[in-house]
Amino acid sequence: MSDWLSQIQWNEQGLIPVIAQDVNTNQVLMLAWMNQLSLSMTIDKGEAIYWSRSRHRLWHKGEESGHFQKVKEIRLDCDGDTLLIIVEQVGGVACHTGRAHCFYKKWQNQSWVEVDAVIKTPASIYHKGFE
């Protein structure tokens, strides 16, 4: 294993959580996971490539939607167990629900309230159907 990869505290599944943040707005866009291969590919390509835990495969963000994440910076936290990637979010949509980011539900009055609007409908983004 490369020295830089050995400095990362991978979990039992060989994954590390990754927070994606917008380079222009500083908005936290999403949380995803990477393994060693997806991190290496992300660095090589300059675009976010994650490990999809639900699909059990590599996931190039934007591969279906066209909403790629161009990586501007990658940071490792002090414990070595979380990555922060600063990205340019192509198309302004990071969430599969068609919103700018995945954190659109706010705890309010003892319930979760959707506080951010849909920018593009999932049906207009995913031509294979909404997942």
Secondary structure letter of residue 124 according to DSSP: H
The pLDDT score that the predictor gives to residue 33 is: 98
Task: Tell me the per-residue pLDDT of 119-128, one tens digit each, with 9 for 90 and over.
Answer: 998 888 876 5
Which residues in the chain land under pLDDT 70? 1, 127-131
Quick one: which of 80, 71, 81 has its CA closest to 43?
71
pLDDT in tens, 48-68: 999 999 999 999 999 989 999
pLDDT score recorded for residue 20 = 98
pLDDT confidence of residue 92: 93
**Strands 111-114, 105-108: pairing kind:** antiparallel
Domains in the chain, CATH or no CATH each: 14-91 (3.10.20.810)
pTM of the model: 0.89
